[in-house]
Amino acid sequence: MQPQKPLFPQLGGLLHGGDYNPDQWLDRPDILEKDIALMKKAGINSASVGIFAWSALEPQEGVYTFEWMDRVIDRLYENGIYTVLATPSGARPVWMDEKYPEVRRVRPDGLRNIHGQRHNHCMSSPIYRQKVRQMNTLLAKRYGSHPGVILWHLSNEYGGACYCDLCRKKFQEWLRKKYHDDIGALNHAWWTAFWSHTYTSFDQIDPPMEHGEHSVLGMLLDWRRFTTENTAEFMRAEIEPLRQYSKLPVTTNFMWMYGGLDYHTLAKDLDIISWDAYPRWHNNEETVYDTATQTAFNHSLMRSFKRGQPFMLMESTPSQVNWMPFNKLKRPGIHALACLQAVACGSDTVQYFQFRMGRGSFEQFHGAVVNHTGRDDTRTFREVSEVGQLLRTLSPVAGSSPATKKAVIYDWDNRWAIEDMAGAAKNDKKYHEVCYEHFDALRRLGEDPDVISSTESFDGYDLICAPMLYLLKPGVAQRLKDFVAQGGTLVTTWLTGYVNETTLAFLGGFPGDGLMELTGVEAEELDTLYPGQTNGVQVGDERYETAQFCELLSLRSPETRVLGSYTQDFYQGQPAITIHPYGKGKSVHIATRVEKQCLIDLYSGLLSMSPSPKEPVLLPNGVEVHRRVNADTQYTFYLNFSEEEVTLPALPRDCRDMLTGERLSAGSRETLGAYGYLVVASV
Ligand code: GLA
Ligand code: ZN
């Protein structure tokens, strides 16, 4: 195991902080001074500054007012608080929009925005790139070597697409390059003979606009890839001056299952991964544990962009958000538990939006560490201070990495292709839900899977689950085969391997691209059930409910074994779950959306057969377990996301309770109260 590498050695532990907007309070130096005292009191050791501060830094074109920022960064540093410094490109000053209309984004209906909002620039605009470069150069020269500044926070939540002429031209050039200047190759890849959509020149291609093309699925996919790459190019242009004039690492804040950009592409250019988590705690559709599952999935996705390296929880609310239809408070206790979950999943930071509530505008009632009273005896302030204390106690965890041999594949190209696929259930294919279900079945058995893309290395895993891997990029089928041949276990589901990377259906049966040889089954037809309609799957003596999709399978290898069969409809008795040996490993195919218990039982069987077999332990309802390891210690986090008291499975080894210092012996069974937690270090 590698020795631990904390993200920020200056801190001597975990980072606790959040978005801080002194630029909104420049006429209140008394408040800015009080903020520092409040931060210290809450155990906050970092502030993210300047995220939307362009107007305060350059109020008129070429007129710079950095002095306030000098003071803020210095004062924070003098008080032991480190600055995460943002580039302000997330929102533009009015003067820029007024003078250079091209920086304003064009909507999918062709209309150019007027000034307003944020996150709505044209990423192709040479003028915007030049303005950003100028600003970032000044920031890097001025603060790049400041001992109080520890990280660049690029812009804010990059996202969206622009449909202006510049972007249209760039899309055409991007396509020309991708298809080697061969319009015939593009026509084939996009299957444009359909409805007479054949192009004769790259110059004829428009982005998929509201009043334009939507039926050419290959184009929809390429447009999203282009938008991702154009954003990545913009991001690299932002990074360039920062790297030229400073040695600080660079991050940008990602979002929850954001559909507009393939984060795998952006992640490559970043030093550290960070993201903004706003789970819908206590909503009225699911349990708190369900919300925790989705949150953990997102944490796992973030940590897996850079395996072995901690990530950052860049934003979260200390109490409630303001932008949901109904903005619920975090119930007492859930804040600490949610913060611990991030750390347990591999984050070395807990950060908030926002430190202090603004007085006006859209986010004035968004939760904050300090509310409009400015007091330190509020419930939120108290809970944040408790987290500050908790994080200090957990300092040794900084730099350690999650340890797992299981992975779930989640892929943006696949997601997009599934969303666009016209067939099955039109707008309700439930890709995310199915990913969560498999992820959670493994969690219930004490596992803590990574979430990786289909093109990442499969090294180090012994079980990979690829839910609904509809689109197979070149080489993926072969790599999955190699993984299994070398002893791995692969779980696939309905909708596997239907189309290639440009959404052309594989000829010769699904799963295509040679994958049938691995699964030992062919998916001949796909039945879609109505909401509420069910079928059943009989596995030995157990009958499980199943819903939504039922693939009709034929066995394509004499070695394929049927584990479960449909119980109803004209395909009653036909295979629904199969297993096929391949090389030293095995491939399991689940042709229908079975209930969770079926997945748990299935994975339980697979874990006990895996190359590193162990007796799977079913965790009590609501409980999750995470592990982080460094050179000589394993940290195990037990988190109870239920309102019930629970008794944990027997501790596997002697350890130390990190929060009380008490020694706990192997075999002892601890209890956790509602929203309780236990963090132990191996001894
Ligand atoms: C996002 C943004 C923040 C803020 C929060 C509010 O994550 O990055 O600027 O608007 O949402 O929840
Ligand atoms: Zn544009």
Domain ranges of the chain: 165-210, 406-608
Mutation test of ligand 1: which of 353, 357, 364 has the most ligand atoms closer than 8 Å to its C-beta? 353
Nearest-angstrom CA–CA distance, 165 and 187:
22
pLDDT score recorded for residue 4: 62
Query: Does the predicted TM-score (pTM) go above 0.75?
Result: yes
Q: Which of 58, 102, 315, 522 is catalytic?
A: 315
- 157 in catalytic set: yes
Q: Which residue has the tokens 């608080």?
A: 81
pLDDT score recorded for residue 614: 73
Helices (H), 144-205: 165-178, 183-190
Ligand 1 closest atom vs CA 255: 7
Q: For residue 303, which of 436, 404, 176 has the smallest C-alpha distance?
A: 404
Please tell me what DSSP assigns to residue 347.
Answer: E
pLDDT in tens, 119-149: 999 999 999 999 999 999 999 999 999 999 9
Q: Is the minimum distance from the CB of 353 to ligand 1 under 6 angstroms? A: yes
Q: CB-based burial of residue 327 (10 Å sphere; 0-12 exposed, 13-18 middle, 19+ buried)?
A: middle
DSSP E strand stretches across 303-361: 311-315, 347-352
Q: Is the minimum distance from the CB of 238 to ligand 1 under 6 angstroms? A: no
pLDDT score recorded for residue 1: 46
Q: CB-based burial of residue 394 (10 Å sphere; 0-12 exposed, 13-18 middle, 19+ buried)?
A: buried
pLDDT score recorded for residue 615: 76
Measured by CA distance, the residue closest to atom 3 of ligand 1 is 353
For the chain, 683 residues long, the average pLDDT of each consecutive 10-residue run is 76 97 98 98 98 98 98 98 98 98 98 97 98 98 98 98 98 98 98 97 97 96 98 98 98 98 98 98 97 98 97 98 97 97 98 98 98 98 98 97 96 97 92 98 97 97 98 98 98 98 98 98 98 97 98 98 98 98 98 98 93 81 97 95 97 96 97 98 94
Measured by CA distance, the residue closest to atom 7 of ligand 1 is 276
Nearest-angstrom CA–CA distance, 194 and 662:
70
Please tell me what DSSP assigns to residue 102.
Answer: G
DSSP β-ladder status, 575-582 and 585-590: antiparallel
Please tell me what DSSP assigns to residue 112.
Answer: B
Nearest-angstrom CA–CA distance, 422 and 157:
30
Q: Please count the other Cβ atoms lying within 10 Å of the Cβ belonging to residue 428.
A: 10
Tokens of 49: 């500054």
- Cβ proximity of 218 and 252 under 8 Å: no
Q: Is the minimum distance from the CB of 280 to ligand 1 under 6 angstroms? A: no
Nearest-angstrom CA–CA distance, 222 and 215:
13
pLDDT score recorded for residue 617: 86
Give the CATH number of domain 406-608; options: 3.90.400.10, 3.40.50.1100, 3.40.50.880, 2.40.10.10: 3.40.50.880
- 315 in catalytic set: yes
